[in-house]
Structure 1
């Protein structure tokens, strides 16, 4: 009985592992095609918008999808090694990260030369490929939710629409405060030519 359960678990593990390996092989083909990936993502978003406009409703699904996209954008533009923007506490100025991350380094000092100024772009919390991958998964998931009648919860959509913009405003304000606190800008991620 125990041996049969171990064999079944082993077969399930092998099947899941095989699916993961095949998925990774297929997804790795798209790493080099940045513009094509994002154009494909845009087409999926337009397909979702078309579906929503045709059937009407599903405002909660769209709201959650948009909030998730906002979170992806914030993670994409936050440097690696800093506390997440959503965990910043406005009242608590003496948090554990303040002493560790006063300002992010953008230069490297060489032992042979004093004040050697070499530009190094910051590393992102989420890579561009992972951001694209999560964006594609979220739009596909939101699209599939439009076929489930239970996801069509009746709400007063103008209230939800205005609430989304309040959330965007608050998030941008919090993100700007985070940028000032740790001394970085969105432009620090680009390469200097």
Structure 2
């Protein structure tokens, strides 16, 4: 009789391993397709928002989701090595240049874009699943939660922007100079004439 239970456990373990491997395969294949990934996440977020709107509840779940997303955003906008928190670590690893004469070092995020996307998508899916259990539908006056979240967002972003200005970094590649390649030799010789 124990042989049947052992075979079922082995089959369940094999199925879980195969499912995990297939999930990781498709996750790895989605890595270079950032626009498609984010569009999918926007679709999941829209479905969640529609669900909350139609049910007229689960505001505490939405508030918790908002706080979690704000925490992820701070990790996404922060450098891997923060000179304000640990100045000694700046010597060992990649750090932000603090003076104009410092060598250029690229901005390395504490939370990479792929992990940021994955965590946001997973959070929306979990929050969506929570809307099917009435235990999470705590009655609350939602405008207070919304006001409190907006205050938290403004204060947190203000602190982050002040940090960016103080240490002179921009966490986005929009507007940064890019290498344009070598200029042709003919244009440089004609400019000497």
TM range (shorter): 0.7 to 0.9
**2:23 maps to 1:23:** yes
What stretches of structure 1 of length at least 5 have no aligned partner? Answer: 89-94, 108-114
Q: Which residue of 1 aligns with 2:111?
A: 126
What is the distance in 1 between the residues matched to 2:174 and 2:17? 35
Whether contact under 8 Å (1:79, 1:124) holds in the other structure is yes
Aligned partner of 1:173 in structure 2 is 158
Given that residues 65 and 124 in structure 2 are in contact (C-alpha distance below 8 angstroms), is that contact kept between their aligned partners in structure 1?
yes
Counterpart residue number, 1:105: 97
Matched with 2:57 is 57
- Alignment TM-score, normalising by the size of structure 1: 0.72
Q: In structure 1, how many angstroms separate the alpha carbons of the residues matched to 2:150 and 2:144?
A: 10
SS across alignment from 2:52: helix
* 1:29 aligned counterpart, secondary structure: helix
Which secondary structure does the structure 2 equivalent of 1:184 belong to?
coil
Unaligned runs of 5+ in 2: 179-193
Give me the CA root mean square deviation.
3.2
1:12-161 aligned at under 5 Å gives the runs 17-82=17-82, 97-98=86-87, 100-101=89-90, 104-105=96-97, 120-161=105-146
Q: Which has the higher contact order (CA 8 A, sep 6+)?
A: 1
* Residue matched to 1:162: 147
Shift of 1:178: 2.9
Question: How far apart are the structure 1 equivalents of 2:81 and 2:174?
Answer: 14
- Give 1:71 shift: 1.3
Report the structure number with the largest CA radius of gyration. Answer: 2
Indicate how the Cα distance of structure 1 residues 43 and 188 shifts in structure 2: closer, same or farther if over 3 A, else same. Answer: closer
Give the aligned partner of residue 110 of structure 1.
none
- 1 CA distance for matches of 2:39 and 2:67? 21
Structure 1 segment 176-187 matched on structure 2, within 5 A:
176-187=161-172
CA deviation after TM superposition for structure 1 residue 180, in Å = 4.0
C-alpha separation between the residues in 2 aligned to 1:123 and 1:39? 24
Contact persistence 1:106–1:122 (CA under 8 A):
no
Deviation at 1:142, TM superposition (A): 0.7
Aligned length: 168
**Per-residue Cα deviation, 1:92-134 (whole angstroms, up to 9, x for no partner):** xxx6x14554971399xxxxxxx897x5531111111111111
